[in-house]
Amino acid sequence: MNVPLLVELDSFLKANNLILDSTDFDYITSINWKTTLTLKCLKCGTNFTITTKQLLRPHPERDGLICPTCNTELLF
């Protein structure tokens, strides 16, 4: 179990109004940089998937919000 990664993930999700869409303890404790996460946006209720690395260490060209629905609405 990667405790620093889980702590960073937890604080990042809270700061961005997201929750991990799983309550399976074994799944949560096995999260690593390559894990595909299913997240739920607390603003719009959209579920989407993203890897831990893409979420916490995004490509420099990524801008805007993480939720695809909220990000699209922000553009228009």
How many residues does the structure list for the chain? Answer: 76
pLDDT at 71 over 90: no
pTM of the model: 0.79
Task: Please give the pLDDT value at position 45.
Answer: 93
pLDDT tens-digit profile of 12-33?
999 999 998 877 777 788 889 9
Task: Give the closest residue to 51 by CA, choosing from 62, 71, 15, 70.
Answer: 62
Task: Please give the pLDDT value at position 75.
Answer: 62
pLDDT tens-digit profile of 29-63?
888 999 999 999 999 999 999 999 999 988 777 77
CA 18 to chain centre: 7
